[in-house]
């Protein structure tokens, strides 16, 4: 495949991903969790297999002086990947709670920093940080059924906007 087609391929994949995120917001979260789990399982399993191959090839005396230690991190990656795949809905809810806490902290921090500044502040400066903090509180109080769908739809819309922007950019380069 020619190198000129890679940006087009990236645009098409991003556009399709954005459309699927908007059309199927709930099921796409499970696929994302599945892919995240696989991204942990595959390198961990490869590292474990590499260790076992090297370990089984050596005789008993060489194993004692083997500088290669048991890959604990690879084992933990495999276990974490399996846990993410099995408990995908719990992972999504924990992510939502962490997002809510981060929004509350960020909004509160901005309000404090605006209040502590030496300049004379207009009330309009407080609107965006207050909205961030209120959104975080809303996410914590609201049942978490709606939030993951909204996040996925926002990411899908962002992916579509990104791909349209790239199409316009490529069209301008062609001229």
What is the mean pLDDT of the segment spanning 149-173?
A: 79
Among 1-10, 30-39, 102-111, name the one with the lowest average pLDDT. 1-10
DSSP structure class, residue 153: H
The model's pTM is 0.58
Nearest-angstrom CA–CA distance, 37 and 47:
16
The HSE-up count of residue 47 (CA atoms within 13 Å, CB side) is 16
SS3 assignment for 69-109: CCCHHHHHHHHHHHHHHHCHHHHHHHHHHHHHHHHHHHHHH
Which residues in 20-31 are b (16+ Cβ under 10 Å) and which e? bbbeebeebbee
When pLDDT is cut at 50, 70 and 90, the band that residue 61 belongs to is low
Task: With beta carbons less than 8 A apart as the criterion, state whether 39 and 81 touch.
Answer: yes
Identify the weakest region by mean pLDDT among 66-80, 102-116, 131-145: 131-145
Q: How confident is the model at residue 147 (pLDDT cuts 50, 70, 90)?
A: low
Q: Does residue 1 surpass a pLDDT of 50?
A: no
pLDDT tens digits for range 88-121: 888 877 877 777 788 788 888 888 888 887 677 6
The residue-averaged pLDDT of 34-59 equals 84
Q: Is the pLDDT score of 41 beyond 90?
A: yes
> How many C-beta atoms lie closer than 10 Å to residue 57's C-beta?
9
Asked whether the beta carbons of 37 and 85 are under 8 A apart, the reply is yes
* 83 band by pLDDT with thresholds 50, 70 and 90: very high
Is pLDDT above 80 for 122?
no
pLDDT for residue 3: 52
């Amino acid at each position: 495949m020619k190198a000129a087609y890679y940006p087009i391929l990236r645009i098409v994949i991003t556009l399709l991903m954005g459309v699927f995120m908007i059309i199927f917001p709930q099921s796409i979260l499970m696929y994302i969790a599945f892919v995240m789990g696989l991204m942990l399982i595959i390198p961990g399993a490869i590292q474990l297999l590499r260790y076992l191959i090297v370990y089984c090839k050596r005789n008993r005396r060489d194993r004692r002086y083997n500088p290669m230690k048991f890959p604990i991190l690879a084992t933990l990656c495999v276990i974490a990947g399996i846990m993410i795949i099995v408990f995908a809905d719990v992972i999504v809810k924990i992510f939502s709670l962490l997002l809510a806490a981060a929004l509350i902290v960020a909004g509160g921090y901005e309000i404090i920093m605006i209040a502590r500044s030496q300049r004379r502040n207009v009330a309009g400066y407080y609107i965006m940080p207050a909205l961030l903090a209120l959104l975080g509180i809303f996410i914590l109080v609201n049942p978490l059924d709606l939030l993951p769908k909204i996040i996925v739809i926002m990411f899908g819309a962002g992916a579509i906007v990104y791909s349209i922007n790239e199409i316009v950019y490529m069209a301008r380069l062609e001229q």
